[in-house]
Amino acid sequence: MVLILVSLLLAAPTVADDVRVTFLKGKAIYVSPNQKKYLLKKGMLLKKDGLIKTAKRSILKIQFTNGSTLSMGPESSMTVNHEVPTKPKLVELIRGKVRGAINPKIAPQKGFDHKMIIKTRSASVGVRGTEFVVIYNEKNHITSNITLKGEVDLYKKSDEVIFEDLREELDKKGRRVKLGQDDQILAMEQDLKNYRTKRVPVGHFAGAFPSYEKAISPVQISDHQLLALGKNKNLKMGMKGKVKRSGVSLGPLKSPNSSLVPEPRKSQRLDKNEYNKNQNDEGVRHGGHVDLNTGIYIAPPEGAPLDKKTGKYLVPDELGGVDSETGEYIPPHGVKLDPLYGFKYDESIPKDRNVRENLEKLQNLTGPFYQQMGKALEIFKEITRLDLYAIGNYRFVTNALENYYGEFRKISNEDTMLWDLQGVAGFQLFHNEDWLIYPKASINWRYYEDYQENVRRLNQYTGMLGGEVHYKHSTLGRKSRLIFDLAFTTRYQNYRKRKIYDFYTEDTALKVTERLNLNTHNTLALSYQVRAFHGFQDPDHGNIHALTLDHEFELGDTWSLLYGANWSYRDNKLDNDIFQIFAGHLKFKWRELLPKTNLTFGYTYQHHETRKRANFDHALYYKADVLFQRDLGQFWKFNLLYEYDRQRAYHVPVGGERRSFIRQSWGAGLTLFF
């Protein structure tokens, strides 16, 4: 009677594919959309979307009306979203592991390629009529998939998305569970059509690892583990049978962690900039074991023998084996596999890091200076949430001139050397799922190494204080942002040729930007900016209005296309003149031209015009530029650049200021991304 009453409480009128508990060992709970908790029992029917959790040493199996099943391992949490029958079922695996068996006779819903999508923090997994095991470890954020029958699609999310998700959760002091099959399922279907998606065939493993740019190519797992997992329909865990080993011994291994894919990150939580250095992951040997707790792949090491019949290498006994009944990986005796540190002989598990522990790490850094500096920056980043961007270039230019709010003037026709230094700092003051408050500041210094008066007067220092407010929302299931950017800028310039920086001009600007992620490789930004400026060297003042469109589109695994357009309108109150600019640019980015090396090149066109003809009527501006960048470790990039630009001005009054010019620029420098 009690069981019937609880089932009625959970039920609601719907045509959704219901969920029934068909197997339960231990303890599991169901959390309804209104946050009520129910202790699950075998035979219970769940009609509403909800959160399911299993306790320690507990396993649970649920079955949908269409015959598909999901089995949860111990200490696992997932949401089950199934109320909308016209969309695929959506499962968010928050932690732990799940084994699925999807009915191959049921066709996907109209307009979709997958019958079920499994979402984790680091991956999207699309399944059809297939059997699989998916693991997500919340400490190392690894998502791993083993396909037992059929095929599974695996897409690795960008580190930017993972990193932001972690910060949101930390700021709101807990994970907010989201239920429903809304537009996010459309976004995940698009993810799974991305060229970075890996299709994982039967008997193979593939993983989505933070710091890797994409999921690794599928790798065949050992026959022992594949056979045992195929028999383990309910995902039973723990020692149930004998440990199956290869019987091969290579002797003591000098560095057992080098056999782990990925290699342990140790104390690093997540690095959003450090991508996989080896883009070609075909070197991962087949025949290894997958640890069902950490998601790590234990690969056969160098020197492991190859079984010519199966094409798989054999894992030596020194790296452990698998349970013959459950398929669970069993490490060597006296050793455990830690999700962050890899193989450990010490049974203590490191606690979650805090500020005090990070400060202690700073005091105990060892190794070469450059390694200590890199580690110190990582820890400092974790503590402060400070973002830094700095660039320093030393150039040779064939024509020094001034850029006054987009207008090129004070043209010298003199060759000179130029120091161009810029730094931007931002701080994530508040960050949750909906809002980001981001104070920021910047400085820019341009210094010409030339004692000609008409060149020296162009030396310039610019400072900015401001802040951004981001409203994070969703457009067609994709993360989008509405950004309000307020900035106060002051520019000093050696305007009077007295070798000092005279107080020259200042402005206040408000910029509103809508940034849309149309899909995983298609980003669009639309913005409007208004600026009020005032000059102190001369009484010029007025307003500037600007509209901008920027679009970045990835063309496959190697190329990116960047293009955009801009219109700006400057209203000078002093002389009742206007200055308009219509601009467009088209650029291509060649990623991984060489290891850790990118090449960007493109073309810019602008049309300038004025209301009065005091200086000129209109001008045409052209620019071609090339930028070569190579990664130097985790935070630095080396730059080589070349620019060629030219302006043709028409109807310049006799004796008027020079407006036409040709300029070339060669330079080299460093860029810091922190």
**Looking at residue 451, which CATH number applies to its domain?**
2.40.160.40
Best CA proximity match to 404, nearest among 299, 548, 538: 538
- Spatial contact of 328 and 360, defined as CB atoms under 8 Å apart: no
Residue type present at position 14? T
Predicted confidence at residue 197, as pLDDT, reads 92
Predicted confidence at residue 376, as pLDDT, reads 59
pLDDT at 124 over 90: yes
Q: Which helix (H) or strand (E) holds 612?
A: none
Predicted confidence at residue 673, as pLDDT, reads 79
What is the rounded CA–CA span in Å between residue 295 and residue 125? 15
What is the rounded CA–CA span in Å between residue 31 and residue 10? 10
Q: Indicate the range of 108-112, 372-376, 437-441, 625-629 predicted with least confidence.
A: 372-376
How would residue 91 be classed by pLDDT, with cut points 50, 70 and 90?
very high
Which residues is 639 bridged to in the sheet? Answer: 629, 669
Question: DSSP state, 182?
Answer: S
- Spatial contact of 44 and 10, defined as CB atoms under 8 Å apart: yes
pLDDT tens for each residue of 177-206: 788 887 778 888 888 988 889 999 999 999
Letter string b/e over residues 132-156, b meaning 16 or more CB atoms within 10 A of that residue's CB:
bbbbbbebbbbbbbbbbebbbbbbb
* DSSP string for residues in 510-551: EEEEEEEEEETTEEEEEEEEEEEEEESSS--EEEEEEEEEEE
What is the dihedral angle through the alpha carbons of 186, 187, 192, 195, rounded to the nearest 10 degrees?
Answer: 130
Predicted confidence at residue 313, as pLDDT, reads 93
What is the rounded CA–CA span in Å between residue 562 and residue 521? 12
* Cβ count within 10 A of residue 410: 17
How would residue 638 be classed by pLDDT, with cut points 50, 70 and 90?
very high
Which of 231, 259, 292 is the endpoint of a domain?
Answer: 231
- Spatial contact of 11 and 47, defined as CB atoms under 8 Å apart: yes
pLDDT at 250 over 70: yes
Q: Indicate the range of 273-282, 296-305, 401-410, 633-642 predicted with least confidence.
A: 273-282
Q: Which residues contact 271 (CB under 8 A, 6 or more apart)?
A: 159, 210, 211, 265, 378, 634
* CATH number, position 40: 2.60.120.1440
- With 0-12 / 13-18 / 19 or more C-beta atoms within 10 angstroms meaning exposed / middle / buried, residue 425 is middle
Q: How many domains does the chain have?
A: 2
Predicted confidence at residue 639, as pLDDT, reads 95
What is the rounded CA–CA span in Å between residue 436 and residue 428? 7
What is the rounded CA–CA span in Å between residue 378 and residue 635? 10
pLDDT at 20 over 90: yes
Letter string b/e over residues 339-370, b meaning 16 or more CB atoms within 10 A of that residue's CB:
bbbbbbeeeeeeeeeeeeebeebeeeeeeeee
pLDDT at 517 over 50: yes
Q: Does the residue 237 lie in any domain?
A: no
| Mean pLDDT across 136-160 | 92
What is the rounded CA–CA span in Å between residue 186 and residue 350? 39
Which residues is 426 bridged to in the sheet? Answer: 387, 440
pLDDT at 538 over 80: no
Residue 219 is encoded by which pair of tokens?
């790798």
What is the rounded CA–CA span in Å between residue 73 and residue 237? 7
Question: DSSP state, 481?
Answer: E
Which residues is 624 bridged to in the sheet? Answer: 603, 644
Q: Does the residue 342 lie in any domain?
A: no
- Spatial contact of 636 and 374, defined as CB atoms under 8 Å apart: no
More confident residue, 399 or 267: 399
Best CA proximity match to 231, nearest among 325, 146, 132, 99: 325
- Spatial contact of 350 and 340, defined as CB atoms under 8 Å apart: yes
pLDDT tens for each residue of 388-402: 889 999 999 999 999
Relative orientation angle of helices 355-363 and 369-384, to the nearest 10 degrees? 170
Predicted confidence at residue 499, as pLDDT, reads 63
Which of 231, 247, 264 is the endpoint of a domain?
Answer: 231
pLDDT at 570 over 60: yes
What is the rounded CA–CA span in Å between residue 535 and residue 506? 7
Give whole-number Cα distances, 374 to 167, 189, 247, 287, 635, in Å: 22, 38, 42, 35, 8
pTM, two decimals, is 0.70
Which of 177, 210, 231 is the endpoint of a domain?
Answer: 231
Residue 330 is encoded by which pair of tokens?
């069993």
Q: What is the rounded end-to-end Cα distance, in angstroms, of the chain?
A: 61
What is the rounded CA–CA span in Å between residue 592 and residue 554? 13
| Range of the structural domain that residue 658 is part of | 385-673
Q: Does the residue 374 lie in any domain?
A: no
Predicted confidence at residue 374, as pLDDT, reads 55
- Spatial contact of 207 and 260, defined as CB atoms under 8 Å apart: no
Give whole-number Cα distances, 657 to 17, 113, 164, 412, in Å: 76, 64, 51, 11
Percent of the chain residues past pLDDT 70, beyond the cut: 87
Q: Does the residue 333 lie in any domain?
A: no
How would residue 110 be classed by pLDDT, with cut points 50, 70 and 90?
confident
pLDDT at 382 over 90: no
Give whole-number Cα distances, 623 to 40, 345, 408, 640, in Å: 67, 61, 13, 17
How would residue 264 be classed by pLDDT, with cut points 50, 70 and 90?
confident
Residue 429 is encoded by which pair of tokens?
């003051």
Q: Does the residue 240 lie in any domain?
A: no
Peptide bond between residue 262 and the one before it cis (omega within 30 degrees of 0): yes
What is the rounded CA–CA span in Å between residue 341 and residue 281? 22
Q: Does the residue 332 lie in any domain?
A: no
What is the rounded CA–CA span in Å between residue 504 and residue 491? 6
Residue labelled with tokens 């009527």? 617
Predicted confidence at residue 272, as pLDDT, reads 36
Q: Does the residue 53 lie in any domain?
A: yes
pLDDT at 153 over 60: yes
Q: Which helix (H) or strand (E) holds 590?
A: strand 577-594
SS3 of the chain: helix, strand, coil, percent, to 5: 10, 50, 40
Q: Does the residue 32 lie in any domain?
A: yes
- Spatial contact of 126 and 114, defined as CB atoms under 8 Å apart: yes
